[in-house]
């Protein structure tokens, strides 16, 4: 079997890939994500371009490996919400989302010798109407400062929502395991 490399430093993506029980290594992508963020790209196209750039940056260094790149964009009314970085910005993002529907776009590119597989999962989420105090309590609890959209659905963030529509719940956390299982199985990886 070729080496399997996750082109990510995300602890969330590593934990997701661990669930499949396939040995892998994680490496930081060798690309400048900020330089690749073209404001002319639509949110989905941006997520897909970043996922591919991450995978390609490692695949170019280790061409015989199977490399997984993934990126996630939170989008509301065409506006991209990135990782907030601070509690204040997290509350501001959540205020922009409260009482509304938005999309969480998770793009994945898997590069194997001689082939490239791409998959994008789009989740539609509707947040409850909440006031600033409730959102401040949530941010203090979950500290979602490194999450696009400023929430962690796998933790207390689930309490913020009234509806979530997704084909693959694992995509919400950052890596669409249903599609990845299909791709890796097709490449000969022994999955249950």
Whether residue 192 lies inside any domain: the answer is: no
Q: In this predicted structure, what is the pLDDT of residue 101?
A: 96
Is the pLDDT confidence value at 167 over 80? yes
The overall average pLDDT reported for the chain is 95
Whether residue 113 lies inside any domain: the answer is: yes
Q: Which residue in the list 38, 71, 77, 146 is annotated as catalytic? A: 71
Task: Specify whether 18 is catalytic.
Answer: no
How far apart are alpha carbons 164 and 168 in whole angstroms? 11
Domain that holds residue 69: 4-186
Whether residue 36 lies inside any domain: the answer is: yes
Domain count, the chain: 1
pTM for the predicted model, two decimal places? 0.92
Whether residue 136 lies inside any domain: the answer is: yes
Report, as an integer, the average pLDDT of 49-65.
97
For residue 127, the domain's CATH number is 3.90.950.10
Give the model confidence (pLDDT) of 65-89 as tens digits.
999 999 999 999 989 998 999 999 9
Whether residue 191 lies inside any domain: the answer is: no
Whether residue 169 lies inside any domain: the answer is: yes
Report, as an integer, the average pLDDT of 117-143.
97
């Amino acid at each position: 079997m070729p080496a399997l490399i996750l082109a990510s430093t995300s602890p969330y993506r590593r934990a997701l890939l661990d669930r499949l029980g396939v040995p892998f290594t994680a490496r930081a992508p060798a690309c400048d994500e900020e330089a690749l963020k073209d404001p002319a790209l639509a949110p989905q196209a941006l997520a897909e371009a970043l996922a591919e750039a991450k995978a390609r940056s490692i695949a170019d260094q280790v061409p015989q490996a199977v490399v997984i790149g993934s990126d996630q964009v939170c989008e509301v009314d065409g506006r991209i919400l990135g990782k907030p970085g601070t509690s204040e910005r997290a509350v501001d993002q959540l205020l922009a989302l409260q009482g509304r529907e938005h999309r969480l776009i998770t793009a994945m590119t898997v590069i194997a010798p001689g082939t490239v597989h791409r998959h994008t999962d789009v989740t539609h989420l509707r947040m409850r109407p909440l006031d600033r105090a409730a959102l401040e309590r949530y941010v203090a609890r979950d500290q979602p400062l490194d999450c696009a959209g400023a929430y962690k659905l796998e933790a207390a963030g689930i309490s913020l929502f009234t509806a979530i529509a997704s084909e693959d719940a694992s995509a919400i956390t950052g890596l669409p395991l249903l599609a990845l299982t299909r791709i890796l199985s097709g490449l000969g990886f022994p999955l249950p």
